[in-house]
Amino acid sequence: MNSEKLNRPGMGIVFILIGVVAISVNDLLVKMLSDGYPLHQTIWFRSFVGLMFSFVFLYFEGGLKVLRTSTPGIHALRGTLIVFANMTFYAAVAVMPLGQATALFFVAPLFITLLAIPFLGEPVGPMRLGAVVVGLVGVVIVQQPWSSEITVSRGVLFLPVIAAFLYAFTQVLTRKLGVSTPASALAVYIQTTFLIVSTGFFLVAGDGRYAEGVEDESINFLLRAWRWPDAEDIPVFLGLGLCSGGIGYCLSAAYRSANAATIAPFEYVGLPLAIFWGWLVFGEWPDLAMWMGCGLIIAAGLFVFIREQLKSRPLPGRRGRWGRR
């Protein structure tokens, strides 16, 4: 497949927006379940249902034959990174406000934009780099590290940042793999990795033996005993699976379709969505500083998109990139 044909920023942006909406709902549902179920159980159910949806996408993109790959090591690394990125982030979500954890995680698009330079050789000019700096300042303002009212430990605050770096590296690998691997296959690989890791957690810690006497809520969320879902929670688990299938496909398709530096800033849409869910479900309302930081983050993302569109626009009297006037 010609890599030039994958450079479709419009398609990539549509996929990333759908994926980000699914991520925001997914995070909300995980937080809702975090009081009663262990993280590995939540991930197992989510991935099992998500894998079923991923196989549906796989059917329309060529069937089982597209799962063949000449780079199994990179796929394994990619899947492992995204699994640990998710587990690290959700360990933080269990004890932090959803909007706060999401804002910290939004160093990820900044990492992606910067990693795209050395690892993918994608050009990122000074104006887009300036927008990245503005977005980073916005993240700092949202988090207010100078505030004395932070209710969780500094170590927990650092968990979403670790998750962000792992996620960023994952998406850079996605761009490398995407030239020859369909999005549905990438999704199947990741869902399978989630199932393997969560099954391993169940076999080792599923009886809750390692959670006994643990007071830290994040660690307890990782290690508490597996139990059968209550009837009212089964639709939540099914919703998680639906979101998981959509996330795996849409994010893979987005980073296959366009330059990582173009796509990454649009993940910032997840920040106002997280604030909305936090207010609607958990009664968490941002203060003025957080609104200011969010404004800077969103403005930076929009600037990067507009800049990319202006650079891609064909000059009058010349043919566009697809040979049409």
CA neighbor of 93 nearest in space, from 82, 106, 84, 102: 102
pLDDT at 24: 92
Note whether 34 and 93 are within 8 A (CB): yes
**Residue 287: left (phi > 0), alpha (psi -120 to 50), or beta?**
beta
Residue range 223-241, pLDDT digits in tens: 889 999 999 999 999 999 8
pLDDT at 20: 92
pLDDT at 303: 77
CA neighbor of 97 nearest in space, from 268, 225, 287, 224: 287
pLDDT at 150: 67
Token pair for 168: 């960023």
pLDDT at 305: 64
Token pair for 135: 């977005």
pTM score of the predicted model: 0.76
CA neighbor of 252 nearest in space, from 33, 58, 115, 86: 58
pLDDT at 324: 36
CA distances from 167 to 109, 195, 215 (A): 9, 18, 28
High-pLDDT (> 70) share of the chain, %? 86
* Residues of the chain predicted below pLDDT 50: 1-5, 313-325
Please state, in angstroms and rounded to a whole number, the distance separating the CA atoms of residues 218 and 287: 25
Note whether 113 and 265 are within 8 A (CB): yes
3-state DSSP helix/strand/coil % of the chain, to nearest 5: 75, 0, 25
CA neighbor of 188 nearest in space, from 59, 16, 20, 81: 59
pLDDT at 265: 74
pLDDT at 200: 92
Residue range 5-43, pLDDT digits in tens: 457 888 888 999 999 999 999 999 999 998 889 999 999
Please state, in angstroms and rounded to a whole number, the distance separating the CA atoms of residues 298 and 292: 10
pLDDT at 178: 56
Please state, in angstroms and rounded to a whole number, the distance separating the CA atoms of residues 105 and 241: 22
Note whether 126 and 273 are within 8 A (CB): no
pLDDT at 107: 78
